[in-house]
Structure 1
């Protein structure tokens, strides 16, 4: 590791299902890592491995040269970045902040502008790949912002992901993530409908997946999450309530563009129904149970294994 890289002190805020693994990869790569999370227990493994705990984002910001965030909702992002105890008011000029949360493009642009006024660079860099991608350091990372900031952050991105690109200026990363989520929205509903059909037809879903997963229908949503559906494994790799948030942002952006995206609206409706029935904390593959309620199929019950 070069002396320039060794000089970077990395902060990481948000240690959920994905954030813990992402911060762990940075720590394992030899960086000095400082962490904050609303629940300190989530940081225990990282602290045991050498990370440094901070009680507030402000405390972390004051000692770090680069800070990465992976939090929940746009209001969390806004508070962490722009609140009095947040990153932008408390970080020294020359710093770099990287929001890897899926959030609103307009908020990403606002953070970029306010950070620039204080001499701080900012990137929006949402990711795709879920718990598996975070754990295996194979995330897709979609980046918006300035090229110089991107090149500075690239060594960090490379220890967390495999498919990495600068897509444009501030907000471009978030817009690209909306493209990603619109694809997933239609695909995951299609997988749930297809496997429900197969179950109600009396087919062995494991055999079905083994055949069609190697053909044109194959992909992460079918081969990984479809397998979890067939096994009744609805534990969260990506929470339903976070997916609803993402689809809501995508729908709002699409409406502002004058687009009528029926597939996205269908997925948003179906996941909304599932959440109302108690599925908010399930993984997105839990949508399968909504379809299984329609008949006496061979698939898992709505209770799953949560």
Structure 2
């Protein structure tokens, strides 16, 4: 008999992995209360809190003994909090934050591109372990609750830093080439780095994909909140967050992370890809080219514990 599981979260993810789960003997049901396993994947801290602790939250509606498997990005502290509440309610909490090996892989949710650091109060239930192994190419024991989120946060910071570094290297090459008017002489275009997946994604203009800017923002936001909890400042991560938030504001929340390069391109090229810089004007009160007070506009609280400047802006609207 198939193991029954329910899923709550991003549709693009379950759409990609459901065939693998079916092949492994798992059947998806819509009624959360009837499932012995519930998999969750939220792309914001607020959504995750509401899902678990809001009215009719999972910790109150699940039958005793049920297993909750959360793939969302959050802080180690909040992961421990979810685990504690689940335990009090006779539930088993498995912390397994979705972690991609590459931000630009296609397909993003292919088995080889997914790994899951896993943390649990005790042993991971057999059926939960089997489900994770059907989805992820690598399932790694991280230790006690909170540890898996810490592993995921460190991995996210490394990937995002590499993405931005490659994009800015290419942007510099393009800008200098244009400014001196020697397209055939100075246009190096990161020669010698063709094997780098980010370089290839930029050259192929891979701006659409299942793993989105919104998902990367959720991961960076949780990493920054974890740093706040530890009274640590991460300037590079803050800068990366600003750039991704700006891309989200102008319409890129559902684009692939490689689309961040469009921030450095001419406005017309971004418009051709569906971006609208007037949305930044609505959010910040001026265009990015107007440098006066631009930094100050980033100083409004976005709700993640850091000052970014558009807490009430709807990233998903077009």
Normalized against structure 1, the TM-score is what? 0.76
Residue in 1 aligned with 2:298? none
Give the 5 Å matches for 1:126-275: 126-129=97-100, 132-136=107-111, 138-149=113-124, 151-200=126-175, 201=177, 202=183, 211-214=192-195, 218=196, 223=197, 225-275=198-248
Aligned length: 263
Are the structure 2 counterparts of residues 7 and 230 from structure 1 closer, same or farther at C-alpha, using a change threshold of 3 Å?
closer
C-alpha displacement of 1:20: 1.6
Q: Give unmatched runs, 5+ long, in structure 1.
A: 1-5, 35-53, 55-59, 295-299
Residue in 1 aligned with 2:262? 289
Are the structure 2 counterparts of residues 210 and 163 from structure 1 closer, same or farther at C-alpha, using a change threshold of 3 Å?
farther
Matched, 1:301 2:276: no
Are the structure 2 counterparts of residues 270 and 62 from structure 1 closer, same or farther at C-alpha, using a change threshold of 3 Å?
closer
Residue in 1 aligned with 2:291? none
In the alignment, the residues of structure 1 paired with residue 184 and residue 273 of structure 2 have an alpha-carbon distance, to the nearest angstrom, of: 22
RMSD: 2.8
In the alignment, the residues of structure 1 paired with residue 142 and residue 272 of structure 2 have an alpha-carbon distance, to the nearest angstrom, of: 39
Residue in 2 aligned with 1:86? 57
Residue in 1 aligned with 2:295? none
Normalized against structure 2, the TM-score is what? 0.73
Residue in 1 aligned with 2:3? 8
In the alignment, the residues of structure 1 paired with residue 60 and residue 247 of structure 2 have an alpha-carbon distance, to the nearest angstrom, of: 40
Contact kept? 1:11, 1:68, Cα under 8 Å? yes
SS of the residue 1:11 aligns to: strand
Give the 5 Å matches for 1:27-176: 27-34=22-29, 54=30, 60-129=31-100, 132-136=107-111, 138-149=113-124, 151-176=126-151
Residue in 1 aligned with 2:314? none
Contact kept? 2:115, 2:138, Cα under 8 Å? yes
In the alignment, the residues of structure 2 paired with residue 144 and residue 171 of structure 1 have an alpha-carbon distance, to the nearest angstrom, of: 7
C-alpha displacement of 1:304: 4.8
- Structure having the larger proportion of residues in helix: 1
Contact kept? 2:8, 2:39, Cα under 8 Å? yes
Are the structure 2 counterparts of residues 303 and 226 from structure 1 closer, same or farther at C-alpha, using a change threshold of 3 Å?
farther
In the alignment, the residues of structure 1 paired with residue 169 and residue 237 of structure 2 have an alpha-carbon distance, to the nearest angstrom, of: 17
SS of the residue 2:64 aligns to: coil
C-alpha displacement of 1:211: 3.4
In the alignment, the residues of structure 1 paired with residue 260 and residue 208 of structure 2 have an alpha-carbon distance, to the nearest angstrom, of: 12
In the alignment, the residues of structure 2 paired with residue 243 and residue 122 of structure 1 have an alpha-carbon distance, to the nearest angstrom, of: 24
SS of the residue 2:211 aligns to: coil
Q: Give unmatched runs, 5+ long, in structure 2.
A: 178-182, 275-318
In the alignment, the residues of structure 1 paired with residue 239 and residue 166 of structure 2 have an alpha-carbon distance, to the nearest angstrom, of: 14
Are the structure 2 counterparts of residues 210 and 68 from structure 1 closer, same or farther at C-alpha, using a change threshold of 3 Å?
farther
Contact kept? 2:117, 2:142, Cα under 8 Å? yes
